[in-house]
Amino acid sequence: MEALGWLIFLVALVVSVMLHETGHFATAKWFGMKVTRYFFGFGPTLWSFRRGETEYGVKALPAGGFVQIVGMTSLDEVDDADEPRSFRRAPGWQRVIVLAAGSFMHFLLAAVLIFGIALGIGVENVADSNTTQIGTVTPYVPMNETALLNGTSCTTTQSPAAAAGLRVGDQVTSFDGVAVSNWTQLQNEILKVKPGTPVMLTVLRDGRSVTLRTKLAEVQGHGSFFGIAPATVTTFQRQGLLTSIKDVGSGFSEVVTGSAQAIGQLPAAVPSLFKGDRACTAAGNVGSVVGAAQATGDAVAAQAGWQQKVSYVLLLIASLNIFWGVFNLLPLLPMDGGHIAVVIWERIRAWIARRRGRPDPGLFDYRKLIPVSFAIFAVVIVFALLLVVADIANPVSFG
């Protein structure tokens, strides 16, 4: 099942990449630009065919895809016959649309997935069973409140619940001498006990009463910690048309905000990528396609209902597409956003020249940006490879 999850992710990755390229391809064709190649992968060609003026095919290195449009920059050599149909001779607004179309396809795919989940599967609602039955026993004491909220421990200190021998399915009938019949009562009794204080509890296990003893631990910034969570009841409620549309908007907002935070955490995350407590640091919030594939595999193999699995995987794919779309629009070369910035700057220069009664300065000289572009590309590649190695050597458990 885990292998199936990896396969699902790889297929989704290929589809996402080629949808991005299809956005560039379709809009360039629509505006009459000459498109000579549409390929998946890089390197030597494994298979291809030609239809009209465009060659379609697959290359040996499955690390992305590309569309080749004649005359993308001022540096490209173009035959005189093809120059009128080159990218660089198209109006600025058309070039911006072609460049932004790749990210638009990521956003479109994400919107369709989120909308489909809300309308077809529904929004997951997890509620406590309102009993004292235990649904989770946390094995270790979290290092701090942040680790507690993130569902990680980062320590090897056994939790009081684990030390007592509590099991999933046990039903607590009394805690520290006080009878409890619902989770709120149990939680209140736990909070009354100071860390380090010995406690005795009685549980109903397999129809018989069992008495257990332990000592409560302390989580920095939180207080007393026992290490249990209630049994839950999960339901899925399908949304209406308007609510599903709103879910798309809220989903985009959450992912964009989270993506910005993740990018901002990258410099601080690097030193902790290979530490044992990675999950409790900023490095636990960033990852590569390998980490995303692992998360998909874990989800498919998890002991959960099909609705939880499908919604998790589709939301993960949607989130990644939103991230890729936003990242690609950053005004940095060689991303599409960098090329859009160049086109906008060309139009600003042309407008200023007209205001001054001067001729259009024409195309921007890309040679001036080659060092900057190369440096940014190198940094992106180094970060990407570092994250891949970290996800292989020191993976984060996604639960």
Question: What is the set of active-site residues?
Answer: 21
Residues constituting the chain: 399
Q: Do residues 152 and 131 touch, judged by C-beta distance below 8 A?
A: no
d(CA 384, CA 394) in angstroms, rounded, equals 15
d(CA 111, CA 118) in angstroms, rounded, equals 11
Q: 7: helix, coil or strand?
A: helix
381 CB-contact burial (10 Å; exposed 0-12 / middle 13-18 / buried 19+):
exposed
The CA–CA distances, whole Å, from 101 to 19, 23, 33 equal 10, 5, 14
Residues facing residue 234 across a β-bridge: 126
Handedness of CA 271, 274, 277, 278 (dihedral sign): positive
Query: What φ, ψ does residue 131 adopt, rounded to 5°?
Result: -125, 180
Query: Which pair of tokens denotes residue 243?
Result: 């609510």
d(CA 167, CA 3) in angstroms, rounded, equals 30
